[in-house]
Amino acid sequence: MSLDGTYDDGNIFAKILRGEMPAARVFEDEHVYAFMDVFPQGRGHTLVIPKHSTARNFLDEEPERVAVLFQGVQRVAKAVRAAFNPDGLTIMQFNGAPAGQTVYHLHVHIIPRWEGVPLGRHAGGAMADMDELKDLAEQIAAKIS
Ligand code: AMP
């Protein structure tokens, strides 16, 4: 899918927001919802999405919603750091299939990084165990401030 197009409310993140698909929820407020990535590129890989948005990508989003989304991203990123004490954090966001995007509801990746551990494959590899993801989600949730 290119940068242009219409929002499909059948996408997997829209289903998660409607409660039609399970997710290991980390945090939500009135603007954002954070949950564990099921194909993690590293331990603690978390996604943050806007709750009331039909933006497929960053360019689609209303400017005032970008601000609240990234306030949520920063809040969750600080909790990820507090939970796992990583050496670094990769925060990334893909726009359009040629750039690597696979789900067309705007989202931001937060991936804890450790010295010498390469970033895992994007949107592939092994599906994580949901109980383990829920445990990681609880550890992050406990550090949200
Ligand atoms: P992107 O490729 O940037 O669009 O990112 C989509 C992300 O969603 C990938 O990292 C996938 O591993 C992840 N993903 C796909 N399906 C699910 C799901 N049901 N729950 C959580 N994460 C998912």
Q: What is the CATH number of the domain that holds 132?
A: 3.30.428.10
Q: How many CB atoms lie within 10 A of CB 134?
A: 16
Average pLDDT over residues 64-77: 97
**CB of 123 closer than 6 angstroms to any ligand 1 atom:** yes
Range of the domain at 49: 12-141
**What's the pLDDT band for 125 if we cut at 50, 70, 90?**
confident
Average pLDDT over residues 4-32: 97
Judge whether residue 136 has pLDDT over 80.
Answer: yes
Radius of gyration of the chain (CA): 14
Mean pLDDT of the chain: 97
The answer to the question of residue 7 being in a domain is: no
Please provide the DSSP assignment of 9-36 as one string: TTSHHHHHHTTSS---EEEE-SSEEEEE
Tell me whether residue 2 is in a domain.
Answer: no
| Residue 124 pLDDT > 90 | no
- Domain contains 34: yes
* Residue 126, pLDDT above cutoff 90: no
- Does residue 1 sit within a domain? no
Domain count, the chain: 1
Is 107 assigned a catalytic role? yes
For residue 25, the model assigns a pLDDT of: 98
Asked if residue 58 belongs to a domain, the reply is yes
Buried (b) or exposed (e) across 21-31, using 16+ Cβ within 10 A? Answer: eebbbbbeeeb
Catalytic, out of 45, 105, 107, 109: 107
Residue 18 has a pLDDT of 98
What is the CA(144)–ligand 1 centre distance, in A? 22
What are the structure tokens assigned to 2, written together? 């290119």
Residue 110 Cβ inside 6 Å of ligand 1? The answer reads no
Task: Indicate the range of 7-11, 42-46, 86-90, 122-126 predicted with least confidence.
Answer: 122-126
In a domain, 74, yes or no: yes
Does 98 sit in the ligand 1 pocket, CB within 6 Å?
no
Residue 83: pLDDT above 80? yes
Domain membership flag for residue 69: yes
The answer to whether residue 61 is domain-embedded is yes
Give pLDDT, residue 42: 96
